[in-house]
A and B are shown apart, each in its own frame.
Chain A
Amino acid sequence: MDLILEGMKKAFWLLFTFDPEVLSILLLSLRVSATATLISLLIGITSGVAIALYRFRGRAMVVSLINTGMGLPPVVVGLFVTIFLWRNGPLGFLGILYTPMAMIIAQALIATPIVMGITLAAIQHLPEKLRLQILALGATRLQMVWLLIKEAKLPLLAAVMAGFGGVISEVGASMMVGGNIKGYTRVLTTATVMETSRGNFDMAIALGIILLLFAYFINLILTHIQQREGLR
Chain B
Amino acid sequence: MDEGCGVRMNRMGSVPILEVRKLKVKKGAVTILSVPSFQIEEGEILSLIGPNGSGKTTLLQTLSFLLNPFQGEIFFRGRKVGVDYPVLDYRRKLAFVFQEPLLFDTSVFNNVASGLKIRGIKRGEIERRVEENLKRFGIEHLRDRSSKTLSGGEAQRVSLARAFAIQPDLLLMDEPFASLDPPTRESLIEDLASILQQTRTTVILATHDRLEALRLSHRLAVIKEGEILQTGPPEEVVNRPIDEWVASFVGTETILKGRVIRKEGGTFLVAVGGHEIEVVGEAMLGEWVILCIRPETVTLSISTMKETTSARNLFIGRIEGIQPMGFYQKVQLHCGFPLVAYVTRPSMENLSLKVGKEVWASFKATSIHVIRQKDRERAVE
Contact = CB atoms under 8 A, between A and B. Distances in A.
B102 A130 contact: yes
A94 interface: no
A113 to B, nearest CB: 26
A125 interface: no
Contacts, number: 49
A150 B104 contact: yes
Interface string B115-134: 10011000000000000000
A112 B38 CA distance: 50
Contact of A135 (B91, B105, B146, B148): B91
Contacts of B148: 232
B88 interface: yes
Contact of B118 (A127, A129, A139, A151): A139
B96 A136 contact: yes
A78 B92 CA distance: 50
Chain A, interface residues (CB within 8 Å), range: 10 to 19
B98 A133 contact: yes
- What's the dominant secondary structure at chain A's contact region? helix
B61 interface: yes
B66 A138 contact: no
Interface residues of B, number: 23
Contacts of A138: 88, 91-92, 94, 115, 118-119, 166
Contacts of B358: none
Contact of A133 (B88, B96, B146): B96
B15 to A, nearest CB: 22
A137 B100 contact: no
Contacts of A135: 66, 91
A187 to B, nearest CB: 37
B114 interface: yes
Interface in A99-149: 127, 129-130, 132-133, 135-140, 143, 147
Nearest to B149: A232
Given A135-B91, A136-B172, A232-B146, 14 more contacts: A127-B100, A129-B100, A133-B102, A136-B64, A136-B91, A136-B95, A137-B95, A137-B114, A138-B92, A138-B166, A147-B104, A150-B105, A151-B105, A232-B148
Lowest 8 CB-CB distances: which A-B pairs, in order? Answer: A136-B96, A138-B92, A133-B102, A137-B115, A232-B146, A132-B66, A139-B118, A138-B118
